[in-house]
Amino acid sequence: MPHFAIGASDFLLDGRPFRIVSGALHYFRVHPDAWADRIEKARLMGLNTIETYVPWNAHSPRPGVFDTSGMLDLERFLREVAAAGLYAIVRPGPYICAEWDNGGLPAWLFQEAGTEVRRYEPKFMAAVTQYLQDVLDIVRPLQIDQGGPVLLVQVENEYGAFGNDGTYLKAIAETIRGAGITVPLATVDQPIDAMLEAGGLDGVLRTGSFGSRVGERLATLRRHQPAGPLMCMEFWDGWFDNWGGPHHTTSVAETAAELDALLAAGASVNIYMFHGGTNFGLTSGANDKGIYQPTVTSYDYDAPLDEAGNPTEKFHAFREVISRYADVPDAVPLPSGRTAPEFTAQLAEPIGLLAAAPGAWSEHEAMPTLDLLDARVAIFRTELRGGGPALLSFGEVRDRVQVFLDGAPVGVLERERRERAIMLPHSRGRLELVVEDQGRVNYGPRIGEPKGLIGPIRLGADELTGWSACAIDLDRLPRLWDAAGCTPAALVPGPAVWRATFELDGPSDLFLRSDVWGKGIAWLNGFNLGRYWSRGPQWTLYVPSPVVRSGTNTLVVLELDTLPTTTATFAGAADLGPTEL
């Protein structure tokens, strides 16, 4: 069997120096039927390794569950990497950051009082141990010394940016070893002395995460990793976008020059990202350094392969740089040159969300959090028995609430704008609140914070109690028209679910224009394409061809605000919005 090890100055593959030229490709952000295509293109760019994180919360939406179906089939992904003749790096966290909801930590972890995440705390450690066991049961037989592709496993992720509980970090490494992982382990940290200090472990290779000033960063890393190979575990070649910000791109020439400097220095690299993919469903995270900034649906990342898997200018520039240091296959993937089909379809038969309320209702004295309801969108109802105008106020809005009185819209409060109060024109009748979680923070101390309307909720000076809550079952929305009691109406005030059908001759990637709508979620043939929002920058949603059918296709849209047009427009190409320059 092949053997991979850490030598005095290099990685060693069967005793010979080996440079890892890897690219990040998250299986959970790409439709499984497109994995082989993306992996093959990585090989053609000259990569010899594919790196992926593992998102704990996606695999384990509830305690005791470990789902490996469809887009979560890590074993199939690793086998496809091996079939392409590439190696693999697995980064199971338990925390992954990655602009992913909660940085990959399941929301249910935070339900039990006293659980402290990313620390040596018994309740957290028990859950992590079970999770790592489940993931590593898949990885163990796929390690290189057992005939598989996996040559490196990462411990935690940028731990030095979060904490300094060395006992915890050591326990994670020991749990990984205890689960039968025999390949070398690594940690990653930003190249800052204090972070490399707190995030590193003796006997585990320290690596860095950075995208510029390569010489200086490698020198910092070398101080903390005096011997062994130098590796940039995350060579940031682009960046992610937040709603309300610009679309980020980086200069091809400058990024290629930094990659060149890294390879010229003899370092190994994992290009973050090689292909970013998409935050399908409600999987995107958020940043909060004082201002809450949710991440958009696209994870294009301005990577060498764009969101739809087409090689960009950066692909060709990186391939050329890599060819100076390693053999690169002769074949070059062609730019697709195709535009996606352009057409329109009519959204119709709206069903009001407040009236249909598809989901489980429960009764609560005090306002429950979304986490308690296991909901990402929920409706809360109570009867007001006052009279005249009154101020409705919340402790904190996480992340957006739409307010209705007797079915009529009163206004919207948003966390980003730190809005917490709204004047009700009268205080008698049915108060309804539609609350949306826009993505959990994935970096820094706010990971795991509860979502929803954080109390107390007051009408004037009095706390409002006695709530009926409906946890919206989003998976049911694409099938709402089949449900008893759900009748389309001509005009619906407030959130509504719409549908359109269209015919296509065959599957093809599609780009759904969303800038013409308000804020919501879209599905094609039951597949959740993710959130859209007119504020941008993302103005089209990517529809991967494997979810498109030849024949009749059904588009379903949950519009929370207002649809200025009921025309659904499919564009020829992606529009990820304006850049800063």
Compute the least distance from the CB of residue 471 to ligand GLA, in Å: 29
CB-nearer residue toward ligand GLA: 131 or 404: 131
Give me the sign of the Cα torsion angle 177, 183, 184, 190. Answer: negative
DSSP collapsed to 3 states, 63-120: CCCCCCCHHHCHHHHHHHHHHCCCEEEEECCCCCCCCEHHHHCCHHHHHCCCCCCCCC
The answer to whether the beta carbons of residues 27 and 35 sit under 8 Å apart is: yes
- Nearest residue to ligand GLA, using CB? 97
CA distance 575 to 581: 16
CA distance 214 to 265: 9
CB-nearer residue toward ligand GLA: 238 or 350: 238
The answer to whether the beta carbons of residues 431 and 98 sit under 8 Å apart is: no
CB-nearer residue toward ligand GLA: 190 or 362: 190
| Residue 181 CA: distances (Å) to CA of 4, 122, 333, 391 | 12, 23, 35, 58
Compute the least distance from the CB of residue 443 to ligand GLA, in Å: 6
Given 99, 234, 307, 559, the catalytic residue: 234
Q: DSSP string covering 109-164, please? A: GGGSTT--TTSS-HHHHHHHHHHHHHHHHHHGGGBGGGTSSEEEEE-SSSGGGT--
Total number of residues shown for the chain: 581
CA distance 486 to 355: 8
| Residue 51 CA: distances (Å) to CA of 306, 383, 572 | 17, 53, 31
**b/e code 267-282 from CB counts within 10 Å (16+ = b):** bbbbbbbbbbbbbbbb
Q: Which two tokens stand for residue 401?
A: 């609430």
Active site residue 559: no
What phi and psi values does residue 140 have, to the nearest 5 degrees?
A: -50, -55
Compute the least distance from the CB of residue 54 to ligand GLA, in Å: 12
CB-nearer residue toward ligand GLA: 51 or 73: 51
Q: DSSP string covering 185-213, please? A: EEEEE-S-HHHHHHH--TTSEEEEEESS-
CB-nearer residue toward ligand GLA: 157 or 278: 157
CB-nearer residue toward ligand GLA: 98 or 470: 98
> H/E element holding 275?
strand 268-275
CB-nearer residue toward ligand GLA: 302 or 509: 302
CA distance 483 to 490: 18
CB-nearer residue toward ligand GLA: 234 or 436: 234
Compute the least distance from the CB of residue 260 to ligand GLA, in Å: 21
| Residue 297 CA: distances (Å) to CA of 56, 146, 242, 547, 581 | 19, 37, 9, 17, 22
What residues does 286 pair with on adjacent strands? 294, 441
Compute the least distance from the CB of residue 349 to ligand GLA, in Å: 40
CB-nearer residue toward ligand GLA: 54 or 401: 54
3-state secondary structure of 33: helix
Given 158, 416, 432, 559, the catalytic residue: 158
The answer to whether the beta carbons of residues 574 and 300 sit under 8 Å apart is: yes
Compute the least distance from the CB of residue 286 to ligand GLA, in Å: 12
Active site residue 234: yes
CA distance 263 to 241: 28
CB-nearer residue toward ligand GLA: 287 or 427: 287
What angle do the packed helices 252-264 and 313-323 form, to 10 degrees? 20
Write out the residues near ligand GLA by the rule CB under 6 A: 96-99, 157-158, 209, 234, 240
Rg (CA), the chain: 25
Q: Provide the annotated active-site residues.
A: 158, 234
